[in-house]
A and B are shown apart, each in its own frame.
Chain A
């Protein structure tokens, strides 16, 4: 018997428990349910709801299972008459002030209080006094409040303090007048704030855009994967009559634990935006008209063939959103090959391609997401981490709170809600990085943050240099990467990338790159990257799920080239007024909610999902549109039956690929000539077409680069 274990008895069954464990942790492990409201395994113990009272032998009164540590020989009874009496009495207290408005409460049917009241509540109340009423607060466009329903479990306040890292909700007042509230007039703005909805055991905090839209039991729950960042966050879509009404987290401890970011939760309200295309559309003499798929596709095929024969396939360029599925990438890549062009790319915001041949097969995180929280030291280069990858930022925050030394090298100061070891905010990222390399290399004397950063990387057993979006979009990306790789070598740290785009990894694997074929194989005829395509006024552009004027590094150039092209085919879900000006054909496709497909996250993890919601109007999944295009263009091997077949074909071709971030380039010694250039910092809720159309997200106090909230620490 190890000293770390104690023998206890639960409901008459002897069991072992680790010393220091709380009773409720042991009963949860044993799958013995003890009712609770305030206890949550991801949060600290508050012990204020008193619902988990259990009987402990020789204890003079019932004890709270969530805050009573086990002791050797302890005998716990969770369902004895005495324990149940205590639980029922607590329930009676909790219901004194709780309104009986379940029929109009969005939480109805998925409510912990409702469920437990069934088991522990009385069918009639002994109280005839008036119930208290609490005024609702406006805490922003994402979370609705019905504070009269609150039972003061404080899960939400603990979440904002412990998980989000900055307490935005608090308990105001005392006794019967106690309320959960933000500070006077403040909204809840943290990028993970929506999780308080799932934590709230009653209907006090709910999903605001979802309010009164459906009852929980009417909806179908469908697994989804978020395409909005490279985390591959697991989601459940809740669908009613084919329409996606809300998104909630799908637990996956290896990726997103039980949380999701607000972007993942609320982006779905952009899906059914007003400019959603329901029917294929073609433009003739500046006039748009809806048409049949046959007509639209015939026009695309004729147009592409004409340009291909008259001007050469090299006059066709293809731009794909980095949020497209693996299957869409694969088919687009095959389509380009079939047409004979290698002008194909998904790296829409990247600007420096000079060292692209030294790229890894795909930009790999360099570790598993779950391991981020076990880092000892990390230097994050060029990343507005909380905006780019909120769930990874949460992991890194966990590491920092646990004592890891996290440092940043960024173009500006961003607000991090954890202790930061060193923060270099500079216009000259390559220069500062070179300075860090010099310190590491020559043991050069250095002061302040440079010294601290290098020391932390040298000291930490698990050290990492993470390259973020702002590094990858930087005009001197090649130099930054080479220097980062060198620094990683010198400090024995690993090198990691935060892929720029929800499925950028799949884009690289499928060969949606001008310089590589699928699996990172070098191509015989190198094509043009995104800026080159847009700068060279090509005759035809094929756009897959992107709006180049907003999604590309240089929107103005994009607009000019697109307007001048003979043929612009937009395969997408939306037709903005701008897009209608430059496009000639719009082929409507399903959004991420409506299409089956595979997402490969930053770890290289493949996750396939079926479409959750019904397609809108005549729109079709993009992989089907591309398949038919391939057929109509007379290309070989475009006879797929389902998207799985497309995935399997590519998976087979890739066979065993091991991710490897080792850098073999030689750009570290290059003088950082254009080091002072700026990388595009896209505000969190403007990252892709769907997010941009989500009304609730657009109404938030966005932490845009221009917002002073960022700089003020």
Chain B
């Protein structure tokens, strides 16, 4: 809205600002709203995997957008968390191919092993068992899960154990 707004003096790290600039540059002038998803993902990565009021406000300020537009995006997409969650985000695909290949067993095992229900985080803040709503597009490797953006396919209960044990 205003030329004076170009100098940013908020709380975002220099790396965050560079990251948002990189996303914003992909879109035409004045269409910075399109850079929101990329910007929020970057912000989420810097903040232990979730967004909070401060971050959303900061991103809105930086992109010169009404903060409610940031909130809209952050609550619409399932890859954004607006509440604190565990360090490692585990998504087990429960869509049709995985379901037919026994993903229920994987989910049950994870819930028992971690002592939490889907949608919850472990008390030590290490794991977050995410409610995955959509197909993760790896049907050829069903059943599968994604941990911190990494796909693990053709899962068995034993493999799940070893994968989880291998995480920090």
Contact = CB atoms under 8 A, between A and B. Distances in A.
Interface of A: 161, 166-174, 181-184, 186, 416-420, 423, 713
A172 B1 contact: no
Interface of B: 1-2, 4-5, 53, 56, 66-72, 75-76
A166 B76 contact: no
Given A174-B75, A184-B53, A169 B1 contact: no
A420 B2 contact: yes
Top 9 nearest A-B pairs by Cβ distance? Answer: A170-B68, A167-B66, A170-B72, A183-B68, A713-B2, A183-B67, A172-B75, A173-B75, A174-B76
A168 B66 contact: yes
Contacts, number: 47
Contacts of B71: 170, 172, 181, 183-184
Given A173-B75, A173-B76, A713 B4 contact: yes
A170 B69 contact: yes
Contact of A167 (B2, B5, B69, B76): B69
A423 B2 contact: yes
B53 A713 contact: no
Nearest to A418: B1
Given A170-B66, A171-B72, A420-B1, 6 more contacts: A168-B66, A169-B68, A170-B69, A172-B72, A181-B68, A183-B70
- Give the residue among A170, A171, A713 with the most B Cβ atoms within 10 A: A170
Nearest to B67: A183
A502 to B, nearest CB: 30
B54 to A, nearest CB: 11
A168 B2 CA distance: 19
Describe B's contact surface by its main secondary structure: helix
A417 B1 contact: yes
7 contacts: A171-B76, A172-B76, A183-B56, A183-B66, A183-B71, A184-B71, A186-B68
A426 to B, nearest CB: 15
A174 B76 CA distance: 5
Contacts of A182: 68
Contacts of B1: 416-420, 713
A510 B62 CA distance: 53
A77 B66 CA distance: 41
Contacts of A173: 75-76
Contacts of B75: 172-174
Contacts of B56: 183
A713 B68 contact: no
B47 to A, nearest CB: 16
Contacts of A416: 1
Contacts of A186: 67-68
A651 to B, nearest CB: 45
A168 B67 CA distance: 8
Given A173-B75, A174-B75, A174-B76, A168 B4 contact: no
B8 to A, nearest CB: 12
Given A172-B75, A174-B75, A184-B53, A167 B68 contact: yes
Contact of A713 (B5, B67, B72): B5
A293 to B, nearest CB: 55
Contacts of A161: 66
B72 A166 contact: no
B166 to A, nearest CB: 34
A701 B49 CA distance: 34
- Give the residue among B4, B53, B66, B70 with the most A Cβ atoms within 10 A: B66
Contacts of A167: 66, 68-69
A183 B59 CA distance: 13
A417 B72 CA distance: 20
A212 B1 CA distance: 40
A139 to B, nearest CB: 11
Contacts of A713: 1-2, 4-5
A159 to B, nearest CB: 13
A423 B1 CA distance: 12
A401 to B, nearest CB: 12
A166 B1 CA distance: 11
Contact of A166 (B5, B66, B70): B66
Nearest to B76: A174
A171 B1 CA distance: 23
Contacts of B68: 167-170, 181-183, 186
Contacts of A183: 56, 66-68, 70-71
- Give the residue among A168, A169, A183 with the most B Cβ atoms within 10 A: A183
Contacts of B70: 183
A182 B68 CA distance: 6
Nearest to B61: A712
B1 to A, nearest CB: 6
Nearest to A415: B1
A556 B70 CA distance: 48
A183 B53 CA distance: 9
- Give the residue among A161, A174, A416, A417 with the most B Cβ atoms within 10 A: A174
B140 to A, nearest CB: 28
B116 to A, nearest CB: 21
Contacts of A174: 75-76
Contacts of A417: 1
A167 B67 CA distance: 8
A231 B76 CA distance: 41
A431 to B, nearest CB: 21
Contacts of B2: 420, 423, 713
Contacts of A172: 71-72, 75-76
A173 B1 CA distance: 27
Contacts of A169: 68
